[in-house]
Amino acid sequence: MMLRAFLVTAIFLLSLSGFTSAADSGGLANQDSANELKVFSDPDMRQRYYGLIAELRCPKCQNQNLADSDAPIATDLRNELYLLINDNYSDADILEFMASRYGEFVLYSPPVNSVTAVLWIIPAGLGLLGFAIVAFILWRNQEDDEASNV
């Protein structure tokens, strides 16, 4: 009886591992499509390509860069980027082209301008506010300690 339960459990676990390995291999296929092989004549171009696909955001996935996304639009953008690099566009020209075509959303580090100033000011303002609150609490506690020692 104990042997039979052991065999059933073993077969069940082996069948589950077969399903998970099949699912994992499907994930690898998607990952391979997102990291297709690009051939460059110059190693610097290859380095620029991989730097830029890490710096540009996928318009569909929103919180993934072009390197991590397997969305069809990300594949198109990687191909477009490959062509622009091979046409000797500078990094600044490529970023400007992508931003003009897909909006500043594709840039992980948007430039400071009237539209994005809020994105840069709010974190600094919240940091200063937090510092002021902590300083006020410490000052208040110091006053209370001095008052209780008198």
Q: What is the 3-state secondary structure (H, E, C) of 50-76?
A: HHHHHHEECCCCCCCECCCCCCHHHHH
Confidence band (pLDDT; 50, 70, 90) for 61?
Answer: confident
Radius of gyration of the chain (CA): 27
Q: What is the pLDDT of residues 81-132, one digit of tens each?
A: 999 999 999 999 999 999 889 888 888 776 777 777 777 788 889 999 999 9
Measured distance CA(32)–CA(27) in Å, rounded: 9
Sign of CA dihedral 17, 22, 27, 28: positive
Q: What is the pLDDT of residues 37-50, one digit of tens each?
A: 778 888 898 899 99
